[in-house]
Chain A
Amino acid sequence: MTEILKIKALGKSFGRRRVFSDLSLSLEAGRVYGLLGRNGEGKTTLIRILLGVIPADQGEVFYKGRKVGFDSASHKQEIGYIPEDSFFFGGMRVGELLNFNAAFYRSWDGRRAAELLKRFSLDPRARIRTLSRGMKLQLEMAVALAAKPEFLILDDPTSGLDVPTRYDFLENIVRELADAGTTVFFATHLVHELERIVEHVFILDGGRLVVDKDYHLLKDSTRRLRLSFESPPPEKLGLGGVLSERRDGRRVELVVYPWSEEAQAGAQRLSPLHMEIEPVSLEDIFRSFVAG
């Protein structure tokens, strides 16, 4: 497996506010990565640094093994970017935006662009500001995919869209994956759909990477524990790895990571009346990591 992107000890501050420091991660080609984090935690900042939009204060970025600086442009030929908001030039028409972008990308495929426009039912002569949010997203997809990227970066593109639209969007991503084996880096706080396609999970919280794990391993290592007791249990349960805890009288609900035999034994030692062990959805895993 080839490494497509590596970040080493990245740090960034805005004035006195330190967004993250000493951030390191590595991406393999062809896989789908999810970057989970709450709003304002630095997902967009990290992506902007990767795309050379803003400079990092410390650290280095390597694309396919070669170091890329703030002003490097050639590696971006292979990167497609679907941003959160439409940073568009609203007065432009759909077709004009495509032409505008075509001038930047050497690998631009005009026929593919036309195909995508047709598939998304976008009128090339429509002015961008007249498009709905969902259609703007589709336009951004068309722009990103027409350049035949090897690496696709998405920054929460579906927030604010209704569920069917989100599914449509995801379906298009899936098709792209099936056709081209693109590496996908999907930053979002709407985790529900991501779970269907993600292969490796990063969770950013408090400026640090609190989770950097294969998706299935993560799921396997997390359990929801529902315990009910005779009498209200003590404050401290003495269990390790509790990510989040909810109490309701004699009932306690815990999300535990990492799950193991010892953890189960420890729970049983508390002599609960009743114990249920359940899997945890990625969404709940995310919430437990960032809330606690």
Chain B
Amino acid sequence: MLRQMILKEWKEKFGLFLFALAGFLFFGLAFSAYSQDKEALDLLMGTMTLVFVPILALLLGSSGFSSEFRDDAWAYLFSRPVKKWQIWLAKYISLLSMLVVILLVFQLVAEFHPAVKAAGQTFSIPLRFGEDISLVVLAYLLPLSLFTMAFSLSILSEKSHVVVFLAALISYSLHIGLTYGYAFLALLPSRLWLLSSLNLLTFVHPRVLLTFVSPLIPLSFAAASILTLTKGDFSQPGRRARVFAKFAAVFLAVSLGFGFIWTYSSIGLRSNPRISDIEIWSGAAYFATDSGIYRFDPATGEKNRLARSLAIWSGIAVGGGGKVAYTTFSVSGGLRAYQDLWIIDAAGKKPRALTRTSRADSPLLGAYIYAVAMSSGGDKVAFITRDLTNADAITLWSVNADGTGLKGYSPRWRRSLNLRKGMSCRILGFADSSRSILISPAPLGKIFWEEGAKLLKVNVESGVVEVLAEHIHGPQLRPGEEGGREPALIAYIKDDRVRSLSTLTLLDAATLEKRDVYEAASIGGFRWNPAGDKLAFVTGKTKIGIYSVAENRLLELKEVAGYDLRWPSASLDWALEDGVILRKLDKGVSSLSLLDGSLREQKTLQLPFSTRYSAQVLGGGRYAFVVNSEKHELWSVDLNTDKWSRIY
């Protein structure tokens, strides 16, 4: 029966197939004609992928049952000894085969036409900051989804243009509605005002859209379509439509419910807004959550909210007496959300905006700020922006803490960095008395493990870039409080893949002198102590070493057992005067251990919560802080009294 159905459908809809071929021919010629003009190529690519092929899919799908409406042929078909879902499926597969052939032709054109191939490589739609939707997904999933939708709806009307319109309308409105719906839910409870922002697209993880929304909506409609055939009276249009709507609503509700639950658990809609960044400065914890920036001083037990903001990507930077630089979102009159950089003092007073990205004359118009660093004296702030429309445009900026002196470093900077799509960049801090900025760009993904990151110094005045080191990872600037500490020393791990060795190295940012601290097969990570004169590092997964900068020697190198040393940057820190705190995992119970300067365990404090995830540990003098990333809680413990208290 399937074979007969395929023959029948191909014969009936052959005109559409020829139209598709003619269209591709036209596009092929157009691509050849404009092969030198990049903008024209982009436009052609966009038209072909987002307009032409989807319309073909819609036309093909909507023609599904329309021929059967003529002369009541459907009654004849239904009177045959065959189940109605089999008719539906046979027709669907028959028309799908035509769509597949069309997509194959499309693929062939894209492969063998040089101009199309070139255009395809650079064409993309950035849906989320940093992640683009691949052309494959767009070019194939979209037509399949639209085709299924139109085919499912084609049982409702003999007028295929009505079906095409309906299918397109439902598809796009559901996708957009879901995007906003999920974004809205993701941002509950305190950010209802952001609903009006069209930039919400950036909040939604593309996974939600692509993996769930794309197949489930058309599948729901397909199921509704089949069930309408097997349960409803096809001869009564009104009844048919009502039965269909009923089934569609049920299936949609179920699949959207699944989608919501899945999104909820993956994005993390918790009652506690999550903690995105935490820094310790002078023993006080500064942390950024989705509901604002807080400062907690364990000595006084005071917790203040310094500012309301969302600092999801940019983090915070603390410096100069506890001043905090952070980013905010605001909505302008034109219903666009803008990100701005602000600075506020430790008491939460005197907030000042350092940028005004909503102003048309601002060089930062439309930019997203994603890395912030403050000089230790608190006089300058550096940050990196990413242009929403052009993922390649990453710019480094510096500005004075009073808002003056905004300087951007690009394209010179960009050129020397050889930035590609998909790179991230960290700012380590300032050096040379705040005259230069230290940054570390790194590729994302697998390449990172092969190439490592670079360490660059950018002169604030001239913008000249110096490459300080390459093929490194984990660079950290020596902390210095209250006026900065010179010289600026950077510690990093250098990987030698040839000899399979890692070296913990110190670099003087001013003299460019390098000092190898320790060499081993693997170095897991390290931490500077708050005074900036010692390094604690993990090597070989079971050894901890302590190195003194002043004496230029290893003070300790000890094998330790029973500690969770997997991610040293999160589980190891300095505490008290010279002590080190470590995370311990014993029979599934997590606890915090305090070791003295000779790495002898002094005491072990059990964590007041249990979690599947590793808890981030930070030390701040007398107190230690632990983050429960599962529930987004922040705890502190007094290392003298062993008393835990929950801060957030």
Contacts and interface: CB of A to CB of B under 8 A. Distances in A.
Q: Do chains A and B touch in the complex (CB under 8 A)?
A: yes
Interface of A: 14-15, 48, 51-55, 70-71, 73-77, 79, 81, 83, 85-92, 96, 99-101, 103-105
Classify the interface of chain A: helix, strand, loop or mixed: loop
A55 B8 CA distance: 27
A89 B73 contact: yes
A51 B8 contact: no
A89 B82 contact: no
Nearest to B72: A87
Interface in B462-500: none
Contacts of B642: none
Contacts, number: 79
Closest 3 pairs (CB-CB, A-B): A87-B76, A76-B81, A51-B79
Contact of B72 (A52, A74, A75, A85): A85
B410 interface: no
Interface string B81-96: 1111110000000000
Given A89-B73, A103-B1, 5 more contacts: A53-B75, A71-B83, A79-B81, A85-B72, A100-B8
Nearest to B238: A15
A87 B80 contact: no
Contact of A70 (B80, B81, B230): B230
Contacts of B1: 103-104
Contact of B235 (A54, A76, A85): A54
Contacts of A100: 4, 8
15 contacts: A14-B236, A15-B236, A52-B78, A53-B234, A71-B85, A86-B71, A87-B71, A87-B72, A89-B67, A91-B12, A92-B11, A96-B7, A103-B3, A104-B1, A105-B81
- The residue in B11, B78, B230, B235 that gathers the most chain A C-beta atoms within 10 A of its C-beta is B78
Contacts of A90: 71
Interface of B: 1, 3-4, 7-8, 11-12, 67, 71-76, 78-86, 230-236, 238
A52 B234 CA distance: 11
B75 A83 contact: yes
B306 to A, nearest CB: 67
Given A71-B84, A90-B71, A53 B8 contact: no
A73 B83 contact: yes
B84 A54 contact: no
Contacts of A75: 81
A278 B236 CA distance: 46
Given A55-B231, A85-B72, A90-B71, A104 B82 contact: yes
Given A87-B72, A87-B75, A77 B81 contact: yes
A85 B80 contact: no
Contacts of A96: 7-8
B81 A74 contact: yes
Given A87-B76, A103-B3, A54 B234 contact: yes
A53 B71 contact: no
B75 to A, nearest CB: 5
A128 B31 CA distance: 44
